[in-house]
Structure 1
Amino acid sequence: MKIRTLFLLCILLLTSEVVMSPTIEFQMKFARIRQALDYLERQHYEMEFIRFVNDLGHNESLNNWLCINRIGCFGEWQFAESTLHCLGFRQVTLRKFRKNPGIFPREMQQKALESLIKVNLALLRDYDHYIGDTIKGVVVTKSGLIAAAHLGGAGSTKRFLKSGGKANSKDALGTSIHDYMRKFRNYDLE
């Protein structure tokens, strides 16, 4: 709400200045308004990313960084040990985490999640053209792709996209790529 109010205020200032200001003053004021709008846009995307990360954590573990599920994924974002090792967190194992959760605190888990998101986005970069398409009744979004790749990996997400949703793999708990694409489609991460 605050962002919209500030945006409308900037537009109001901009339109009133067009009528009353000499060109140089207008250009300076316009530059300040542009900086303010850029700042607001960055803030918006940062807040959306934080909201996405928190909601993903809530869906995975109710935001419990100590959580271990029945198939051996652990932490707030339910990492598989093999995923963590691929990301360079070789010292973190399920056995060690059970014994001492302090070896993988929430802050480190968040770094692992951010790394995983970067890796998945790199692996999915050639699939950006699907964004905006509708597959099995769900509009494909960047946030939906990130969540789907978190659930089943970039490979399963690619197969889902290429098959038009027919290759809809599920994790061991029964959650499908389509489920995560639908559930996490409404975050503005563009």
Structure 2
Amino acid sequence: MCPQNRKIQFIKKFLFLSIVFLGFINATTIDKKIGTNNKVTFPKFIDYNIPYLQKNFVGFKEALAFKESQGKYTVVNTLGYLGKYQFGRTTLHRFNIYNTQAFLRNPELQEKAFVALCKVNKWILRKDILRSVGKTINGIKITESGILAAAHLSGAGNVKKFLRSNGSIRFSDAYGASIQSYLKKFGGYDVSNIEADRNATI
């Protein structure tokens, strides 16, 4: 083979190897890019500290309010129950509240009325709380917050009957909500900051 032909063959081999090498480099780069783009990223955890997600009294009252009225202060239901916590007029009279329209426009008054009612119910049910908390009735673990929620639904007297009959005397409101469902749904909140007070006022 003449020197010129050898030179041509060498150039061809060089070009071929160069093309193969460049192709390999490009393929590796693409794989790396794809690998980078396909990485799974997780959102950073941010503790927003939302009050109604906590198991304290604020969490309790906000959860109960959402069940009663979706947390809306101006709601009046078909039976005439009023506000964020769906108070009956008789209950409001207990706290010397007679102007229901003014009550609906006053969020602060509604919050104070709810706390006062919890205090009164806790006093009425104080013996039943001592006797029943920790027990299981009809598959439901009885807690203080569950008892207070059930009293808000049905009145303290009906909760007494339920607890003292070991769950055989039951109560449901006109919409089908029951003492049992409230005992279960609102159990486990820390409501120890609410003091039993027979004469609680606003």
Q: TM-score, normalised by structure 1?
A: 0.69
- 1:132 match: secondary structure: coil
Structure 2 vs 1, CA of residues 101 and 149 (structure 1 numbering), >3 Å: closer, same or farther? closer
1:92 aligned onto 2:99:
yes
Following TM superposition, by how much is the alpha carbon of 1:133 offset from its aligned partner in structure 2, in angstroms? 0.4
Provide the C-alpha distance between the structure 2 equivalents of 1:187 and 1:101, rounded to a whole number of angstroms. Answer: 27
1:173 matched to 2:180: no
2:82 aligned with 1:74, yes or no? Answer: yes
The 1-side partners of 2:186 and 2:162 are apart by 16
1-side partners of 2:55 and 2:176: how far apart?
Answer: 30
* Bigger helix fraction: 1
Q: Give the Å deviation of 1:92.
A: 2.6
Matched, 1:187 2:189: yes
1:115 counterpart residue number: 116
1:48-102: CA deviation from partner (whole Å, max 9, x where unpaired): 001101111111111000111111101000000111101222x233xx46xx842
Which residue number corresponds to residue 136 of structure 1? Answer: 138
Distance 1:162 1:47, change over 3 A: closer
Alpha carbons 2:55, 2:189 under 8 Å: kept: no
- Rg: which structure is higher? 2
Contact kept, 8 Å, 1:140 with 1:181, in 2: the verdict is yes
Q: 2:59 aligns with which of 46, 51, 54?
A: 51
CA distance in structure 1 between the aligned counterparts of 2:177 and 2:55, rounded to whole angstroms: 27
Give identity over the alignment, percent: 39
- SS at the partner of 1:78? coil
Which residue in the other structure is 2:125 paired with?
124
- State whether residues 81 and 92 of structure 1, in contact with CA within 8 Å, keep that contact through their aligned partners in structure 2: no
Partner of 2:107: 106
Q: TM-score, structure 2 length as denominator?
A: 0.65
Q: Deviations over 1:119-159 (max 9, x none)?
A: 00000011121000000100110000000000000000000
Count of matched residue pairs: 138
Asked whether the 8 Å contact 1:120–1:154 carries over to 2, the reply is yes
RMSD (CA atoms) = 1.7
Contact 1:52 1:187 in 2 (8 A): yes
The aligned residue for residue 162 of structure 1 is 164
Q: Which aligned segments of 4 or more residues in structure 1 are displaced greater than 4 angstroms? A: none
Contact 2:134-2:141 within 8 A present in 1 as well: yes
